Structure 1
Amino acid sequence: MGGQRAQLVADERDSQTSAGSGRPAVADGPPPELVFKRRLRPAQVARELWGARELVRALAERDLRARYKQAVLGFAWAVLTPLALCAIFTLVFHRAVKIDTGSVDYPLFAYVGLIVWQFFSNTMNQGALSLANNLSLLNKVYCPREVFPLATMLVAGVDMVIGVGVLGLLFLIFWTAPAATFLWVLPLLAIQFAFTYGVALILSVAVVYLRDVRHLLPIITQMGVFATPVAYPLAQIPQRLQEVYVGFNPLGAVIEGYRGALLYGDAPDATLTAVAAVSSVVFLVGGYLLFKKLETGIADVA
């Protein structure tokens, strides 16, 4: 009892002292050891993602089944969309606008760009909704939440692999073969994946906080296919603006690099590829940091 009485007297004296000095008695804040500090360590992030690989695979399989469930043509839809666009581009851009593709047949030229664009647009559209569509699972299962956009990119990767198989058939139809420089595809793939995943991370968390974003996605997709050099070469953009353009849209350099490596036997432009690589890393790192900063409030906002 004596100890409690002494503590009460001390508290009252401190209160009177604060009141006498004219300053409000406000606590300085929680003790330093109770302040939450979140540090993102690349090695730890990589371990968590690797540990959740089975969850990523399960989510991708679920999305694949849901997409093609009760569809008569099944996985053929992964091919029909780019082939239909390729046919339209051939009629409009090649025959009407007279896009010059040199010694390469225009359907091959356009289809290479369409494979890249379909991968990006599918990941963007599905990845943007990956958190909003899995809120019940987010609140029940502990896992790195960035696995949900990653799973959508894996699904888009399956469609891309199917599209590459069709590209092989087009090579046979037009009696041509991939150029010997095809190994340049590998670094371009890394740039493509980094940029796509970064955009998916940004959009997935943006949809949770700003529901209007989901209504903008169809508009972005429709405008993006024409703003990206899918149906036309990057040379149609003034040379003085190409580096700036590629900085904002690395897919331009990626598509141009694929065409050079697969169809023309040319190495990708070093400057444009470097700009695209730096830009993709900025999108990936910036998107990941934004995602981790906002993910703690996803359950509250949703």
Structure 2
Amino acid sequence: MATIGQVLQRHELIGNLVGRELRARYKQSVLGMTWSVVTPLINTLLFTFVFNRVAAIPEPRNAAGQAIPYALFVYVGTMFWNFFAAGLSSGTDSMTSNLQLLTKVYFPREIFTLSAIAARVADLGFSFIVFVLLMASFGLTRHLIFSWTMVFAPFILLIQMVLMLGLSFLLATVNLFYRDVRFIIGLVLQVWVFLTPVNYPLSKFLSSTHHHAALTWVYLHLNPMTPLMMAYQHLILNMDTPGITLLSLWGLVAGSAALSVLVLLLGYSVFVKYEGAFAEAI
């Protein structure tokens, strides 16, 4: 078990692993890191067409009563969900993709998982630049009012990264012994995204399940990504959810934060317990 100080002392190694991950991912690619922007844009167009045009889900509204362009709403959710899904996938493979280094001179094994998630922060950064451009465009053309509260979004991102790190420690450990995990998590993420208000407003789900209180409770309290998505939408898009007060929202976010910390403690304890057997699993 490495201390935080020991991990921080290896910051140069973390930087090298992040750089290697980015170079390997976009090696011999014509568009390079532009793919980190192209992917969420294509997903945004697809889900806007499916949910807004085909399913006829109306545009959500902000606190000022203005209609939020559905594409902008979807892009915000997609941007943070893609970071979550890609980070979790990379975190799951963080040990198996560094098998040669695992058998060499010892250094904190936590570095592999940390660097895998850190490499995805670069993708999120590029996606956010595009969001700023979209926000400026819609702000000018549709006179949308955005809130200064978006400066607090990094605190929600921190909670999300705690959750990602905890799950990654757990999944990376299990995946080292059972390589099926990487395939299972891919399927889970495909289902999970539709159980989270990423591409549709939470109000749509609540209106469809108002006769099923237990299902609504599970959706809001046992899926830690639901309150985080709601918080992003509120802080960045100035968007409120009918039936969910601000006090309720931040209570749900606090619950998500607590659950994320528990997941981190569980994931890291499993990681530490089996760390000594990593070499045997190779």
Q: Same fold (TM over 0.5)?
A: yes
Deviation by residue 1:196-244 (Cα, 9 ceiling, x = unmatched): 1111111111111111112213212322222221101223144744553
Name 1:74's counterpart in structure 2.
Answer: 32
Name 2:278's counterpart in structure 1.
Answer: 298
The alignment-based identity, stated in percent, is 35
> 2:104 matched to 1:137?
no
Maintained 8 Å contact 2:91/2:169: yes
The CA deviation at 1:177 is: 5.4
Relative to structure 1, the CA distance from residue 74 to residue 47 in structure 2 (aligned partners, 3 Å threshold; closer, same or farther) is same
Name 1:206's counterpart in structure 2.
Answer: 174
Name 1:274's counterpart in structure 2.
Answer: 254
Name 1:33's counterpart in structure 2.
Answer: none
The CA deviation at 1:179 is: 1.1
Give the alignment partner of residue 91 of structure 2, picking from 127, 137, 141: 127
Query: What is the rounded CA distance, in whole Å, between the counterparts of 1:135 and 1:227 in structure 2?
Result: 34
Maintained 8 Å contact 2:195/2:219: no
Structure 2 residue ranges without an equivalent (≥5): 62-66, 241-245
Name 2:132's counterpart in structure 1.
Answer: 168
> 3-state DSSP class of the match of 2:105?
coil
Name 1:190's counterpart in structure 2.
Answer: 158
Give the alignment partner of residue 257 of structure 1, picking from 214, 231, 240: 231
Give the partner amino acid of 1:225. V
User: Could you say which structure has the larger radius of gyration?
Assistant: 1
Deviation by residue 1:163-183 (Cα, 9 ceiling, x = unmatched): 100101111221235312213
Maintained 8 Å contact 1:179/1:262: yes
Could you tell which deviates more after superposition, 47-56 or 109-118?
A: 47-56
Maintained 8 Å contact 1:202/1:290: yes
Structure 1 residue ranges without an equivalent (≥5): 1-39
Query: What is the rounded CA distance, in whole Å, between the counterparts of 1:242 and 1:58 in structure 2?
Result: 44
Query: What is the rounded CA distance, in whole Å, between the counterparts of 1:254 and 1:190 in structure 2?
Result: 10
Query: What is the rounded CA distance, in whole Å, between the counterparts of 2:80 and 2:108 in structure 1?
Result: 27
- Give TM-score, length-normalised by structure 1: 0.81
How large is the Cα RMSD of the aligned pairs?
1.8
Relative to structure 1, the CA distance from residue 218 to residue 246 in structure 2 (aligned partners, 3 Å threshold; closer, same or farther) is same
4+ aligned runs moved over 6 Å, structure 1? none
Give the alignment partner of residue 97 of structure 1, picking from 33, 42, 55: 55
> 2:262 matched to 1:288?
no
> 3-state DSSP class of the match of 2:175?
helix
> 2:89 matched to 1:109?
no
User: Number of residue pairs matched?
Assistant: 260
